[in-house]
Structure 1
């Protein structure tokens, strides 16, 4: 595999904000997040850039690592959910992107309105 920026992060040549690691995986905050806590989880060696080409053992181990890191983010950022993306683009090294999902006031109001609308429509349609 070609050398990537993630190889430099794993080796320590490039600084990163590590939040978790074990012998096989590393999780770090992105330097330019679009939301607080935006985190990347990578295998410490480059197995390629497509998650579904990983062998079953590595795939399973990576998903368990991602789950651990998601739990860390939920606690650290007091967020009800963490989104997961495997794009397979940008850096040619398989990586999971974890994004804390924050429920802001306008979203709570929107959820309330949607629930009210559903009840209203159900009453009209069902009678």
Structure 2
């Protein structure tokens, strides 16, 4: 796998607003946020797409969700809710070929469309 912008962030060759880091993962704010709160959680191990995840990566990929929940709580969006999204390949919307979990939250988040507004949006 070729080096990506995320590899450069992990290696501190490119600056990012880091929210969390441990030996397996890194969370940082998205530079082009699509919601009031939008951050990414990436593994430090380079895995190009969801299709490339192996049985040996199960714990690592699960750890990304644990990190997402921790940072969502720290960012104040855990109680009201947030969305996690992982895109796969071109038609799935993946633009960086290093798996990454998008975490999006905030009251202005308008998708999916609601038939009834959630209580916290009334």
Q: Which has the higher helix share?
A: 1
Aligned runs of 1:12-23 on 2, under 5 Å? Answer: 12-23=12-23
Aligned length: 106
Give the Å deviation of 1:36.
2.1
Aligned in 2, Cα 1:2/1:82: closer, same or farther, shift over 3 Å?
same
Q: 2 CA distance for matches of 1:95 and 1:69?
A: 15
Give the TM-score of the pair, scaled to structure 1: 0.71
Structure 1 residues without counterparts, runs of 5 or longer:
113-127
* Corresponding position of 2:91: none
Q: 1 CA distance for matches of 2:64 and 2:21?
A: 12
Structure 2 residues without counterparts, runs of 5 or longer:
89-93
Q: 2 CA distance for matches of 1:60 and 1:23?
A: 14
Give the Å deviation of 1:51.
6.5
User: Residue 111 of structure 1: SS of its match in structure 2?
Assistant: coil
Is 1:93 the counterpart of 2:95? The answer is no
| RCO comparison, higher one (Cα < 8 Å, 6+) | 2
Runs of 4+ in 1 over 4 A off after TM superposition: none
Computed over aligned residues only, the root mean square deviation of the Cα atoms, in angstroms, reads 2.5
Give the TM-score of the pair, scaled to structure 2: 0.74
* Corresponding position of 1:60: 62
User: Residue 105 of structure 2: SS of its match in structure 1?
Assistant: strand
Please say which structure displays the higher CA radius of gyration.
Answer: 1
